[in-house]
Chains A and B, each alone.
Chain A
Amino acid sequence: GAGVSQSPRYKVAKRGQDVALRCDPISGHVSLFWYQQALGQGPEFLTYFQNEAQLDKSGLPSDRFFAERPEGSVSTLKIQRTQQEDSAVYLCASSLTGGNKNIQYFGAGTRLSVL
């Protein structure tokens, strides 16, 4: 595709429900990132993939958060037993390769509201 695509754009969940957020990176991009953006804040890093390998998951806030990218393309961020503090916009980004000079291209995000 032309850009990073995320679905759904909006998700409302009841506290305790599991949710799955999908990210389709730009075709051919090796690196994929997930960020969490709380209301009024800057995005914060969650996790990073190089192809199918999850190289860094240091930003995942708890073991209720899990991400995968089994075939090195589409990625899913799963949140189990959602809590109100999980309400945020979840942004996905991809870049051609890893490394500090590469531009990360962002999707429009998924806005998660936990009631």
Chain B
Amino acid sequence: AQSVTQLGSHVSVSEGALVLLRCNYSSSVPPYLFWYVQYPNQGLQLLLKYTSAATLVKGINGFEAEFKKSETSFHLTKPSAHMSDAAEYFCAVIQGGKLIFGQGTELSVKP
């Protein structure tokens, strides 16, 4: 069975600083990977997805993620954090059409 692990349930950065949210996957086959963001009292919004094309995937709101097979990782980054980035972020792998999510990382942005 496939799974994802998100390291760090809470990450805090200063406005303008680099954002790095970690995700490692476990899969016996090439995975399809996703990052979703959830703002308070809202549903999940897709940030980006990896479907075995380019290993560096660019998403919305300036986020990007790099698929590294050797490290079984799919970390999410953004060069400069904005206050509006404060939210919960979920990494997910898809198996049999259904999403399998990590536990989530809450991102706080300090002014």
Contacts and interface: CB of A to CB of B under 8 A. Distances in A.
Nearest to A42: B101
A98 interface: yes
Interface in B68-111: 90, 92, 94-104
Q: SS class of chain B's interface: helix, strand, loop or mixed? A: strand
Contacts of B97: 31, 48, 56, 98-100, 102
B44 A91 contact: yes
B99 A43 contact: yes
Interface of B: 32, 36, 41-46, 49, 51, 90, 92, 94-104
Given A45-B98, A45-B99, A103 B104 contact: no
Q: SS class of chain A's interface: helix, strand, loop or mixed? A: loop
A91 B95 CA distance: 18
A62 interface: no
B27 to A, nearest CB: 11
